């Protein structure tokens, strides 16, 4: 097994973070204020967490979207998504 | 040896691209963790890669004071050296000594980059590169001590030794610490990163912009990946074998490095030399004690 087996994972994760960064700056153009959990990133993180079990590169695209959001945003959503993936991995 | 099997260009290219993307993400994670420790939100994880790509579309300006052929060629040499290290290390499992040689040539490249632009700041950076070369005692101590223990310097041989006799980390912990200090000294914002200290603007990198800076950053990313890979292979080679396990271990070590970089101020150049010598001597003591 070679390192480039994980190239799709890395590329899709990177693309996800780039899209997340771009879109979240459109969502939040105001100065940084701490906010509660947002529904859309949370849903994306959960979808990503779920997909991690079935097709990891696609899951990483969604998780990457939330992780890559504007600094300060998407932290709790990312953690929830990753925990969801871990729970699924343990239970399934 | 399986050189003929693995030595095809597409395989090598894909491995290098993977190392580049993963190394870039690791350096982004490094900055993120450092920022969190310092109470800042920090840049996105992908920031280091974005920075690298950004420089590829920036205008290339070469200072009038520079020696143009050297200004360009030495940066390309830095990339070539670390691509060689990747081919010899993760791809072929060849000689550890060649990777150590790549590390030494990286020092020469730092010196050359500093001298090439003609700026006083970069010259100070290049002077520090020479000074810090005297600090690289672990660079000699680690391969010598690993050779005395395993009777080989081939990375495949070192892995096989560890599969039979257990991890070298448990047998030579102080040698592992000396190698860890080497890796730390090549990490951005390192306490030993005197060559790019902010007291001399950006050290040897001060006058490099545009594509040439992007190429330089690519070399640094590959260097970070190659050094982490070497550290894991030499001291945990028997335990960590699968690429995914390597990636997880590299991420863990990056977080540890980020903690050290965030909490430790940059030491003075002479102290950097002294501290790294102390770690090299501790490594020798470790070998003498067993």
Average pLDDT over residues B17-27: 93
A74 has a chain B CB within 8 A of its CB: no
Residue from the list B21, B42, B247 with its beta carbon closest to the beta carbon of A14:
B21
Residue B256 has pLDDT above 90, yes or no: yes
3-state helix, strand, coil in chain B (%, to 5): 75, 0, 20
Whether A3 and B46 lie within 8 Å, measured CB to CB? no
Average pLDDT over residues B245-261: 92
Average pLDDT over residues B249-272: 88
The closest alpha carbon to A20, from A63, A84, A57, A51, belongs to A63
The model's pTM is 0.88
Q: In this predicted model, what pLDDT tens digit does every residue of B142-193 receive, in sequence order? A: 888 888 888 888 888 888 888 888 888 888 888 888 889 888 888 888 888 7
Residue from the list A3, A21, A69 with its beta carbon closest to the beta carbon of B19:
A3
Residue B27 has pLDDT above 90, yes or no: yes
The closest alpha carbon to B13, from B89, B72, B87, B96, belongs to B87
Choose from B41, B86, B87 for mutation: most chain A CBs within 10 A: B41
Between B220 and B72, the higher pLDDT residue: B220
| A71: closest CA of chain B, how far (Å) | 5
pLDDT at A39: 83
Query: Do residues B132 and B273 touch, judged by C-beta distance below 8 A?
Result: yes
Whether B43 and A71 lie within 8 Å, measured CB to CB? yes
The closest alpha carbon to B243, from B229, B254, B223, belongs to B229
Residue from the list B15, B18, B50 with its beta carbon closest to the beta carbon of A10:
B18
Q: Where are the domains of chain B?
A: 3-289
Contacts of A72 in chain B (CB under 8 A): 41
Q: In this predicted model, what pLDDT tens digit does every residue of A61-74 receive, in sequence order? A: 998 898 888 887 87
Whether A14 and B90 lie within 8 Å, measured CB to CB? no
Residue B3 has pLDDT above 60, yes or no: no
Choose from B7, B10, B22, B53 for mutation: most chain A CBs within 10 A: B22
Whether B46 and A10 lie within 8 Å, measured CB to CB? no
Residue B161: C-alpha distances to residues B128, B164, B171 (Å): 38, 5, 12
Please list, residue by residue across B162-175, b when 16 or more beta carbons sit within 10 angstroms of its beta carbon and e when fewer do. beeeebbbebbebb
Q: By CA distance, what is A16's nearest residue in B?
A: B46
Q: In this predicted model, what pLDDT tens digit does every residue of B185-230 receive, in sequence order? A: 888 888 887 777 666 666 677 777 778 888 888 988 999 999 999 9
pLDDT at B177: 87
Average pLDDT over residues B78-92: 88
| A4: closest CA of chain B, how far (Å) | 5
Contacts of A70 in chain B (CB under 8 A): 44
Whole-number mean pLDDT of chain B?
Answer: 83
Query: Do residues B125 and B205 touch, judged by C-beta distance below 8 A?
Result: yes
pLDDT classification of A25: cutoffs 50, 70, 90: confident
A10 has a chain B CB within 8 A of its CB: yes
Query: Do residues B23 and B85 touch, judged by C-beta distance below 8 A?
Result: no
A24 has a chain B CB within 8 A of its CB: no
Residue B254 has pLDDT above 90, yes or no: yes
**DSSP per position, B25-93:** HHHHHHHHHHHHHTT-----TTHHHHHHHHHHTSPP---TTS-HHHHHHHHHHHHHHHHHHHIIIIIT-
> Quick check: ipTM above 0.85?
yes
pLDDT at B202: 65
């Amino acid at each position: 097994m070679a390192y480039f087996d994980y190239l799709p994972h890395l590329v899709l994760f990177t693309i996800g973070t780039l899209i997340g960064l771009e879109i979240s700056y459109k969502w939040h153009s105001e100065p940084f204020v701490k906010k509660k959990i947002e529904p859309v990133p949370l849903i994306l993180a959960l979808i990503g967490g779920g997909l991690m079990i079935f097709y990891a590169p696609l899951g990483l695209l969604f998780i990457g979207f939330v992780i890559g959001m504007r600094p300060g945003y998407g932290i709790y959503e990312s953690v929830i998504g990753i925990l969801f993936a871990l729970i699924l991995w343990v239970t399934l | 040896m399986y050189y003929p099997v693995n030595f095809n260009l597409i395989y090598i290219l894909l491995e290098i691209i993977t190392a580049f993307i993963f190394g870039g993400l690791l350096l982004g994670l490094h900055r993120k963790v450092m920022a969190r420790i310092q109470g800042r939100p920090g840049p996105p994880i992908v920031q280091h890669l974005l920075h690298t790509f950004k420089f590829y579309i920036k205008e290339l300006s070469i200072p009038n004071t520079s020696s143009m052929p050297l200004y360009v060629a030495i940066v390309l040499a830095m990339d070539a050296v670390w691509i060689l290290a990747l081919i010899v290390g993760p791809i072929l499992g060849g000689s550890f000594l060649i990777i150590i040689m790549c590390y030494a040539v990286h020092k020469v490249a730092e010196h050359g980059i500093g001298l090439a632009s003609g700026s006083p700041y970069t010259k100070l950076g290049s002077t520090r590169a020479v000074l810090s070369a005297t600090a690289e005692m672990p660079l000699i101590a680690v391969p010598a001590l690993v050779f005395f223990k395993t009777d080989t310097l081939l990375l495949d041989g070192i892995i096989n030794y560890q599969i039979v006799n257990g991890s070298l980390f448990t047998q030579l912990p102080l040698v592992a610490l000396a190698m860890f200090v080497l890796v730390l000294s090549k990490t951005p914002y390192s306490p030993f990163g005197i060559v790019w200290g902010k007291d001399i603007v950006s050290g040897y990198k001060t006058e490099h912009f545009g594509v040439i800076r992007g190429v330089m950053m690519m070399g640094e990313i590959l260097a970070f990946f190659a050094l982490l890979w070497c550290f894991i292979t030499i001291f945990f080679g028997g335990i960590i074998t699968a690429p995914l396990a390597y990636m997880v271990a590299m991420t863990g070590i990056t977080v540890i490095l980020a903690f050290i970089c965030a909490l430790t101020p940059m030491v003075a150049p002479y102290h950097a030399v002294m501290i790294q010598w102390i770690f090299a001597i501790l490594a020798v003591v470790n070998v003498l004690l067993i």
